[in-house]
Chain A
Amino acid sequence: MRVAFPHMGNAYIPLRALVEHVGVEAVVPERPNRATLELGAKHAPEFVCLPFKITLGDCMNALEKGADTMAMVCGMWACRFGNYGHVQHLILRDMGYEFESLLIGREDPRAVWEKVKRAVGGGAFRRLLGAAAVFRAKAAAVEEIESKARFARPREERRGDTDRIMERYLTRVDEADTIRRVREIRRELREEFSALPLRDDDDVLRVRIVGELYVLLEPSLNFDLVRRLGAVHGVEAQPILSTYRWLLSPLWLDPFLHVSSSRARRVSRAYLPYVLGGEEHMTITGALDAPRQGFDGVIHAYPLTCMPENICRTVLPHISVTRDVPILGLCFDEHTSTVGTNTRLEAFLDMLRSRRGRGRNAKELEAEGVLRA
Chain B
Amino acid sequence: MRSLRIRRVRKGMSLKHAQGSKAAMRVGVPRALMFYRYYPFLKMLLEGFGCEVVASPPTNLRIMGMGTDLCVDDICVAVKALFGHVRHLEGEVDAVLVPRLVSVEKKDYDTFTCPKLIAAPDMVRFSFPHLPPPLEFVVDVKKAPFWWGCLRLGRRLGVSLRGIARSYAAATREQRRFEDLQREGLLPEDALKRMENGNDGPPPAYASAERDVTVAVVGHPYLLGDPLVSKRLIHWLDSSGARVLASTMLSRRDLEREARKLPDLSWSYEWELLAAASHFMEADGVDGVIYLTSFGCGPDSLVTEMVRREVPNPHGRALLDLVLDEHSAESGVRTRAEAFVDLLRHRKRARSREVEKR
Contacts and interface: CB of A to CB of B under 8 A. Distances in A.
A47 B295 contact: yes
Given A47-B295, A78-B266, A307-B115, A315 B122 contact: yes
B283 interface: no
Contacts of B122: 271-273, 311, 314-315
Contacts of B266: 75-78, 82-83
A47 B301 contact: yes
Contacts of A248: none
Q: For chain B, which range describes its interface: under 10, 10 to 19, 20 to 34, or 35 or more residues?
A: 35 or more
A270 B305 CA distance: 36
A183 interface: no
Interface stretch (A84-92, A148-156, A343-351): A84-92
A277 B305 CA distance: 21
Interface in A41-64: 45-49, 52
Contact of A48 (B3, B75, B302): B302
A80 B302 contact: yes
B60 interface: no
Contact of A314 (B114, B118, B123, B264): B123
B263 interface: yes
Q: Which of A46, A78, A266, A306 has the most CB of B within 10 A?
A: A78
A304 interface: yes
Contacts of A75: 266
A276 interface: yes
B110 A305 contact: no
B102 A314 contact: no
Contacts of B2: 270
Contacts of A331: 74
Interface string B126-137: 110100000000
Given A45-B302, A91-B309, A79 B115 contact: yes
A274 interface: yes
Contacts of B297: 47
Contacts of B118: 78, 274-276
Interface string B299-338: 1011011100110000000000001000000000000000
Given A76-B264, A90-B305, 15 more contacts: A48-B302, A52-B302, A76-B111, A77-B266, A78-B114, A78-B267, A82-B266, A87-B305, A90-B310, A91-B309, A270-B1, A274-B119, A305-B74, A307-B298, A318-B129
Interface of A: 45-49, 52, 75-80, 82-83, 86-87, 90-91, 94, 106, 266-267, 269-278, 304-308, 310-311, 313-315, 317-318, 331
11 contacts: A78-B114, A78-B115, A78-B267, A80-B301, A82-B266, A267-B1, A275-B118, A276-B118, A276-B119, A307-B115, A314-B127
Q: 8 closest pairs, A vs B, by CB?
A: A78-B112, A76-B266, A48-B301, A276-B115, A307-B298, A307-B115, A76-B110, A314-B123
